Amino acid sequence: MNGAIRTGAPALPMPDLRGSFPGPFPASAYADDIERHATEWLRTFPLVGSERKLGALANITGQGMARTFPAAGRSELLLCADLFLWLTAFDDAHGEAAGARDPARLVRAAGECVHLLAGHDEPPGSPSVFGAALTDLLARFRQRATGTQYLRLTGHLRDNLLAILWEAHHIDGPDHVTMADYRAMRPHTVFVRTLMVTAEIALGYELPERDRSLEPVRELETAVADLAGWINDLASYAKETAHGGPTTLNLPSLLMREHGCDLEEAFRLASRMCERQAAVAAARIAELAAGQGPLAVHAGALKSVASSYVWHIDHARYRV
């Protein structure tokens, strides 16, 4: 990622990530299959309100998933794509500004999903289309994941729902949100930690807990999580500004408030933060990938996860 974005004012600086995550990024040969399947799945479970939005979501998810797990099998890629179609569509329909306008609706929708994630086969009432789609997903993941993998996945999905609630609650009044708060929650609103957990299911490995707690692994996962959220903030800022959407709960706005600087300087600061975390991630990936076993596989998986976020922010979804 390199260059600048425009907001109707002078171009804003963007991070140069070519040294840490240079493209072009490998893509699965199943990319077009995933996109076609995504379109069909969204018609089976109509989570999106228009054909235009359906096509855009199927495209970015299908092509993005092909770059997230380029070595995964076709069936694994289709399953993972469906999960992230569901998460993105839920956030679009219920989160952010929509959740702030109607928090009761968001709480009901999240509550139905938490009920299903807790292991109940039926929601407490007639299932919504999001509940029906989640039921389908959970049944398919139970068939493929180990017990530990499934519990970790459902735990992270609950984290995503909590983060969507948190973001909707604060979006119209973010002045008391600290940088520490934001750094803790942003990976869950951008779904990157859920993607890391999904990697083990998609690629057929399981990282032992003793390896998961190693400092290089924790540092790598934190760097990738930060990078994913921050570059998304920078890439989406122009579109949110142009369309009059909320622009105060993001990294540039927090930096402007924290440092008393203007938007251009905030983008410079944010770009340097992204570049530092990208360099940390790349160094840890090289260190861990030099070995063997699940640690090396995990390092390669997180390299692809980070690369997919770098790739996806240039998608038309983020253009004004």
Residue 9 has a pLDDT of 46
Residues 6+ apart with CB under 8 A from 73: none
HSE-CB of 204 using CA atoms within 13 angstroms: 7
pLDDT at 178: 93
**Which pLDDT does position 111 carry in this prediction?**
94
pLDDT given at position 236:
87
On whether the CB atoms of residues 300 and 222 are closer than 8 A, the answer is no
CA–CA gap between residue 318 and residue 320 (Å, rounded):
7
Each residue's pLDDT tens digit in the chain (320 positions)?
555 555 444 588 899 999 999 989 999 999 999 999 999 999 999 999 899 999 999 999 999 999 999 999 999 999 999 999 999 999 999 988 788 889 999 999 999 999 999 987 766 667 899 999 999 999 999 999 999 999 999 999 999 999 999 999 998 888 889 999 999 999 999 999 999 999 999 999 999 999 999 999 999 999 999 999 999 999 988 777 776 655 678 999 999 999 999 999 999 999 999 999 999 999 999 999 998 899 999 999 999 999 999 998 877 666 65
How far is 118 from 189, CA to CA, in rounded Å?
20
Decide: pTM greater than 0.85: yes
CA 74 to chain centre: 21
Q: Which residues face 5 on adjacent strands?
A: 12
Beta bridge partners of 4: 13
Query: Which pLDDT does position 248 carry in this prediction?
Result: 73
> Residue 110: what are its φ and ψ, rounded to 5°?
-65, -40
For residues 278 and 227, the answer to whether their CB atoms sit within 8 Å is yes
Q: Are 256 and 263 in contact (CB under 8 A)?
A: yes
Upstream peptide bond of 294 is cis (omega within 30 degrees of 0): no
User: Which residue, among 90, 36, 35, 92, has the nearest Cα to 61 in the 3D structure?
Assistant: 35
Alpha-carbon gap, residue 247 to 244, rounded angstroms? 8
Distance CA 12, CA 158 (A): 35
Rounded distance, CA 277 to CA 146, Å?
A: 31
Determine the 3-state secondary structure of 142 from DSSP.
helix
Tell me what pLDDT residue 212 has.
94
Looking at residue 95, what is its pLDDT? 86
What is the structure's pLDDT at 318?
62
